[in-house]
Amino acid sequence: MEINVNDTLDTKGMACPMPIVKTKKALNSIGHGHVIEVLATDRGSTADLKAWADTTGHLYLGTIEEGDVLKHYIRKGDESEPSDSVAHQDRLSLDDLSTRVTNDDHVVLIDVREHAEFAFGHIPGAVNIPLGELEDRLDEVSKEYEVCVICRTGSRSDLAAQKLAYHGYAQVKNVVPGMSDWNGPIEQGTQ
Amino acid sequence: MAVEIIDSDALAKKIINKSDTFILDVRNTEEFEDWKIEGEHVQIMNEPYFNLLDDVSAIEEKISKNQEVIVVCAKGGSSQLVGELLDDAGFTNVFSLEGGMKAWSEHLEPVKIADLKGGGELFQFVRLGKGCLSYFISSEGEAAVIDPSRMIDVYQKFAEERNVQITHIIDTHLHADHISGGKSLADEVNGTYYLPPGDATDVTYRFEALEERSQIQVGSATVNVQPIYSPGHTPGSTSLIIDEAYLLTGDILFVASIGRPDLAGKADAWAVDLQETLFQRFIRLPEELLVLPAHYAFVKELKTGGEVSAPLGKLYEKNPGLQLEDEREFRRMLTENLPQQPNAYDKIRQTNMGKFVPDHQEKNDMELGPNRCAIHE
């Protein structure tokens, strides 16, 4: 599958520790929340990137194997969480979302995570509009139905919900906490 | 000061001579917990290399700067980098293990066990990284290798240095924990490859049957190899008595534990076989026979100098696996103490049957991880 990323780093042919050393450096030059694709041939790089991301607050999204090449996807950690004072008040729990997804045909679920995050696992039926693209793609979102917005932990979806409300969407719900706690069905791939 | 390189050979010598050894393992914690360097006088600490890239303060708090530190990683690249970072931080006695755990896992340490009749010699090859033991018997210009690992060039070089020709290659059973070098060594030196027929029903290559009635001579009839059928780890498992003095038990009986019956699929049936072998067959053999197994499970089994051995009679007094003659108690111990199965054991068996041909990298990956062939409480 093709995954849109903010940057690509080629470490093919490099042995441990270079894939991590280079990734660490490359992350310094991209924005928070952005996704980097790391190409590597070192087999040990998968486990190391995963463990490294866990200790540094970055998010290891997944790896795709293409022949001898491993394509790793990492999202640079957020700088800060938005505070509750500006939060979008209308929220929906994962349990309630689960019920709606199963029973209600008219639920519109927008997943505002980055393309690569979405590709490695999303709720079936969700539409991927990364937060950064939302304002340009409002015409894809119907005002007729209730709109549920989800991300990984509820922060980006909160900002998205506020944006939608500002643009006149009357029924917007921020799904909390988000995909990090979702235990229901998951689908992989891009749209 | 620069970072010095230590190779597997030098590290092995330190460990078998029981020198104090401090190891800083910089692989990720999951890999470290699965498998690490062990030794009676080895102190080991894990701190993944990627946590040390910005600063080494996590280490500075725990290790004195004058202490000898051997840095170890998967292949030797990260240990070199961390070694340099420690050197920059003022550590004065830093070594990096050349080739990392990959090289360590492939290192074989030859240990002389005994002189045999007519100028023959018996060596044990200790694979410290896996706990595997193989044997080299030389006699009058000929040599036999028993349970060889896949690093066959080591045995070939050893034979060359002693000016002997490897003529017989024997596997005591179809191995499930490591890739056998038996068939490939036999092909390489044009020798005869022996395998017990009970383990060879599915093998795809030609071999000579290792059976009780067929004795094997190394050299001109001076060193005698007597097969003893001893099923239980596998249906064909066969032990060898060398020169009427040494009992090579394969994976049936170890120094501090016994073999496991479940790696080829029929734990219940083979538990009965194992019990018969241990309590009806081996018990009738002379108690002064020196048991030389194909594995060890605990570093304390290594004597100073690296040898792993014990007289058969002593094992009937001390080995926990030989203390339960009662059939039900014995079976309970076997089934309740089965350790996790070795990594990739089924793939390893397929490889040893000739049904699967992995490349070097795959072989290395399949053998990674600890040895789990023994049962102990």
CATH 3.40.250.10 residue window(s) in chain B: 4-104
Q: Which residues of A touch B (CB under 8 A)?
A: 15-18, 20-21, 24, 43-44, 47-48, 51-52, 55
Is B50 close to A17, i.e. CB distance below 8 A? yes
Instruction: For residue B77, give the chain A residue with the closest CA.
Output: A16
Q: Name every chain B residue with its beta carbon within 8 A of the beta carbon of A21.
A: 53, 81
User: What pLDDT shows up at residue B310?
Assistant: 96
CATH 3.40.250.10 fits B4-104, yes or no: yes
Is B144 in the A-facing interface, judged by CB distances under 8 Å? no
- Min Cα distance B77 → chain A (Å) is 6
Superfamily of domain A91-181, CATH level 4: Rhodanese-like domain (3.40.250.10)
Interface test with A, best of B26, B28, B71 (most A CBs within 10 A): B28
If you average pLDDT over residues A122-138, what whole number do you get?
A: 93
Q: H/E element holding B15?
A: helix B8-16
**Looking at the annotation, which residues of B are catalytic?**
73
Chains A, B: CB pairs < 8 Å? 44
Average pLDDT, chain B: 90
- Give the span between the Cα atoms of B259 and B241, in whole angstroms: 18
pLDDT band at B168, cuts 50/70/90? very high
pTM of the model as a whole? 0.83
Q: Name every chain B residue with its beta carbon within 8 A of the beta carbon of A55.
A: 48, 50-51
Q: Are B225 and B218 in contact (CB under 8 A)?
A: yes
CATH 3.60.15.10 residue window(s) in chain B: 108-375
ipTM for the predicted complex: 0.75
User: What pLDDT shows up at residue B222?
Assistant: 59
Query: For the structural domain made of A7-75, what CATH number should be given?
Result: 3.30.110.40
Q: Which residues contact B260 (CB under 8 A, 6 or more apart)?
A: B233, B251, B334, B338, B339, B372, B373, B374, B375
Instruction: For residue A44, give the chain B residue with the closest CA.
Output: B74
Q: CA quadruple B172, B174, B179, B180: dihedral positive or negative?
A: positive
Query: For the structural domain made of B108-375, what CATH number should be given?
Result: 3.60.15.10
Q: Name every chain A residue with its beta carbon within 8 A of the beta carbon of B50.
A: 17, 20, 24, 48, 51-52, 55
Give the model confidence (pLDDT) of B313-361 as tens digits: 999 999 988 888 788 888 887 777 777 777 788 899 999 999 999 998 8
Q: Which two tokens stand for residue B174?
A: 């179809």
Q: Which two tokens stand for residue B337?
A: 């103490």
Instruction: For residue B28, give the chain A residue with the closest CA.
Output: A48
Instruction: For residue A45, give the chain B residue with the closest CA.
Output: B28
List the domain boundaries for chain A. Answer: 7-75, 91-181
Is B53 close to A18, i.e. CB distance below 8 A? no
If you average pLDDT over residues B234-243, what whole number do you get?
A: 91
